[in-house]
Amino acid sequence: MSEIRHERTILQQRDLKLRIATYIVTILITILVLSPFIIWLTTVGYTATGEMTERSELQKFIANPLKRILRYWNQVVAFCESPLLISLRNSVIVTGSTCIGCMYISALTAYGLTAYEWKFRKALSTFIVVVMMIPTTMSYIGYYKMVQDLGLINNLAMVIFPTVASPITVFFMKMYLQATFSRELVESARIDGAGEFRIFNKLILPMLKPAIATQLIFCFSQSWYDTYLPAILLIKDEFRTYGVAYSIYVIKPMIITVAPPIIAYLFCAKHIVEGVALGSVKQ
Amino acid sequence: MTNRNNISRHYTKWGYIFVLPFVVIFLAFNFYPLICTIWYAFCDLRRFDNPGPRFLPTIGEPWYRNFQQVFEAVSFRDAFKNTLMFFFATTIPEWLLAFWLAAAITDRRLGIKGKTLYKTAFIFPKLISGSTLSGLLLEHLVMFTASTVGFVYVAAMINGFGFEMQDFKFFFSNRFLVIVVSVIIHFGITFIYAVAGITSIPVEVFEAAEIDGANRPQTFFHITLPCMKPIMFFISVVALVDGLGTSDVPSAFGLFDTLRLCLTMNMYIINQAYMGSYIYDRASAASLILLGLIGIGALVIYFVFIRDKDEAKLRKMIRKEKREAKRLKETA
């Protein structure tokens, strides 16, 4: 009896050591990762050279609220007339249409590949798996030449189209749909007289919500911060996107840059892990 | 029976309709340009006012001219080495950290709390990468690592273990900082996918292993890893494509990188094609080489994760039997 107890205490001690080690590592990484955000929140207005000696915006605000509010108002007015707003509009157009288009088309393709038995289904599935491994940046030289020949440089649609068709998203959604799809549901909807597009919009899209949330956040942040394709295709100032106009090297800490992805993440966060978990059940 | 077949044939039409937009957009905007890029690697296509691609043998040059020029360039050789070095040096610690943390956090016996916090926090760097805040994160990480390395260095010097400045050379270079920052930025995704993969395994399997007396490493290598094969395939593909095609983090350090310590292949391609050089053919050749590199990695991934060894054996046997049957028929 005493031997068993002794053994158990040894095991518990080992567990305790491991637990402490895990907690130390996770908390250290969490602090490291979140620290710039916390520092940034408390020193919003520090100067372009990164001098931390100046008083932070928060402190200034507490010292003289009315004056600060008036100054902010002026900044807002100046902002509304600046080229920043134009670049922001372009970014919203590009990111919005990329996300909506990519999600809808990928979901459609995944559904078409799982639900119907047509001739080239297997061939297309293997094609998607093969093509998934090729980075999209690989084809950009040919794409640039193509757009140049067509005379469509400085056209926002040309930035949207190549990112809309994303094989990796299709593969992920197909993985998820294969695990959750039920043919009986679709057949019962057919008996009730629903058309195929209606079945997809009303039944399959809500079913795919977790997978869409997972892929949406990656698609959104990639498209919002993308500097490669917009930089080579959108040359004129009035077509610049936000990521190109205010790139990483311009220290201009503004909440506009980081707010959209974080808000999108907060909206999707609930579904994200669930989505991946179910998607990995089957292949 | 025939009626049922008719009905299913009526619905197969919709399969084509649903897949059509993806196929059309992909072929027009991704696949056709990719073929063009491969074709340009064997063409003459330089300068901004070029007359269009001309196949190299038609203008009296050997077809491998672009590849020869690429391999002769010292900068490309440096980029090639750097890309491979960065890929292995970031992927290995990232996977070790991510899988260890995922296994420790999801372990039922340990019962770690605050999972949602970690899941949210670890993906944060990826979420803000490319923004001004990412610059702050970079600065912060660089200061953190540099000061830590500095402390170790000073401590070693004081104690006099026989260390010299040369021994710490790597830890003071840009390369080390690039590796640290890329690991921190990319490890969140790997971690989340790993956690998801582990949580999708049924609990009974772990319980059975526990009763049979398996310790933690045994459980991880013999139960967890084989059970999460599909998601491992996904993780490794993402790691391959992101790792070999990396350009964002190294380019943040590479403004005055005259020794080409941080030059990667993707950066080399961008420099050749768009940064004022307009040497599209050489850039195409370089991207074809990068594609070959990714292809080798993809083959390795395919053989490790996708290919079913028993199924392949079975297919081989079936093929053999068919051949023998054919031979018998011919002789008869």
pLDDT digits (tens, 9 = 90+) for A99-153: 999 999 999 999 988 888 888 888 888 898 888 888 877 888 888 888 888 888 8
Q: Tell me the per-residue pLDDT of A31-45, one tens digit each, with 9 for 90 and over.
A: 877 776 676 666 554
Domain annotation covers residue B288: no
| Structure confidence at residue B122 (pLDDT) | 82
Nearest residue in B to A111, CA atom: B18
* A243 and A220 Cβ atoms separated by less than 8 Å: no
Other C-beta atoms closer than 10 Å to the C-beta of A283 total: 16
All structural domains of chain A with their residue ranges: 2-77, 83-279
Which residues on chain A are in Cβ contact (under 8 Å) with B104? 18, 22
Distance from CA of B324 to the nearest CA of A (A): 29
Of the candidates A134, A165, A251, the beta carbon closest to that of B294 is on A134
- Cα distance between residue B43 and residue B31, in whole Å: 19
Which residue from A61, A23, A25 is spatially nearest to A42, judged by alpha carbons? A61
Domain annotation covers residue B122: yes
Q: Give the count of Cβ contacts less than 8 A between chain A and B.
A: 267
Q: How far apart are the first and last CA of chain A?
A: 48
| Ranges under pLDDT 70 in chain B | 1-9, 48-49, 52, 129-139, 141, 159-168, 253-256, 276
Of the candidates A26, A108, A251, the beta carbon closest to that of B18 is on A108
| Structure confidence at residue A107 (pLDDT) | 92
**CATH number of the domain that B195 lies in?**
1.10.3720.10
Supply B209's token pair. 């292993």
Of the pLDDT bands very low, low, confident and very high (cuts 50, 70, 90), residue A248 is very low
Domain count of the fold of chain B:
1
Which residues on chain B are in Cβ contact (under 8 Å) with A281? 200, 230
| Structure confidence at residue A105 (pLDDT) | 93
* A173 and B38 Cβ atoms separated by less than 8 Å: no
Q: Tell me the per-residue pLDDT of A259-275, one tens digit each, with 9 for 90 and over.
A: 777 788 887 777 766 65
Of the candidates B45, B144, B240, the beta carbon closest to that of A32 is on B144
**CATH for A83-279 (3.30.930.10, 3.30.1330.60, 1.10.3720.10, 1.10.8.640):** 1.10.3720.10
Q: Identify residue B307 by its one-letter amino acid code.
A: R
- Residue B224 DSSP class: I
Interval A231-259 mean pLDDT: 67
Which residues on chain B are in Cβ contact (under 8 Å) with A124? 19, 23
* A110 and A174 Cβ atoms separated by less than 8 Å: yes
Confidence (pTM): 0.79
Nearest residue in B to A231, CA atom: B274
Q: Tell me the per-residue pLDDT of A58-109, one tens digit each, with 9 for 90 and over.
A: 666 677 777 777 777 777 777 666 677 777 888 889 999 999 999 999 999 9
* B105 and A22 Cβ atoms separated by less than 8 Å: yes
Evaluate if residue A282 carries a pLDDT over 60: no
- Residue B42 DSSP class: T
Domain annotation covers residue B52: no
- Cα distance between residue B57 and residue A189, in whole Å: 61
- Cα distance between residue B125 and residue A258, in whole Å: 11
Q: Please state the φ and ψ torsions of residue B162, each to the nearest 5 degrees.
A: 90, 15
Q: What percent of chain A has pLDDT over 90?
A: 6
CA neighbours closer than 13 Å in the CB half-sphere of residue B241: 16
Full domain range(s) for residue B198: 75-278
Contact assignment for A116 to B104 by CB distance below 8 Å: no
Distance from CA of A244 to the nearest CA of B (A): 10
Nearest residue in B to A119, CA atom: B12
